[in-house]
Amino acid sequence: MEGFLRLGFFSMAEKITETLKGSFAYILTGAIIIAIWIYFLFLVPRKQRRYDKFSDYLQDVFNFEIMLGSGLAKILYIAFAIVLIVVGIVAMFVTNFFIGLLGTLILEIILRVLFEIFMVIFSIQSNILAIREKVEKRDEEYYYEE
């Protein structure tokens, strides 16, 4: 953790980690709970496929038609962003306001870029599935026309 904080808070990372030593687990747990709440309240897609049977859903999950990782990545991003904001606020008061603010902005940008790179993989997968469904639909229409 201290190595990641060094990217944003420079030499003040030791002071910040020393201040947060006992409370970091509580901050992380609270951030994960809030992130799950935010995800299910605001980010769950409305146009999801409806399943008649639970076995159909399980079949799609086991065949990797449905990716659970993208939702998990979104929840982790929200949780880490909340943790960084809390750590940034602590850094603003423990060390220097300007260093805390600058460090928070730098770390938030780095976190966003890393998760965007990770989400590109899931975006590619969902686009490939959409293309495959269109091709299968086109092939079915072609074969039934003859």
What residues does each domain of the chain span? 2-145
Phi and psi, residue 45, nearest 5°: -65, 140
- Categorise residue 10: left if φ over 0, alpha if ψ from -120 to 50, beta otherwise: left
Q: What confidence tens digit (pLDDT) does each residue in 43-84 have?
A: 776 666 677 888 888 888 888 777 778 889 999 999 999 999
Q: 86, 85, 76: which is closest to 108 by C-alpha? A: 85
Residues 118, 70: Cα–Cα separation, whole Å = 9
| Tokens read off for 54 | 């639970």
pLDDT at position 9: 66
Q: What confidence tens digit (pLDDT) does each residue in 12-51 have?
A: 777 777 787 888 888 889 999 999 999 888 877 666 667 7
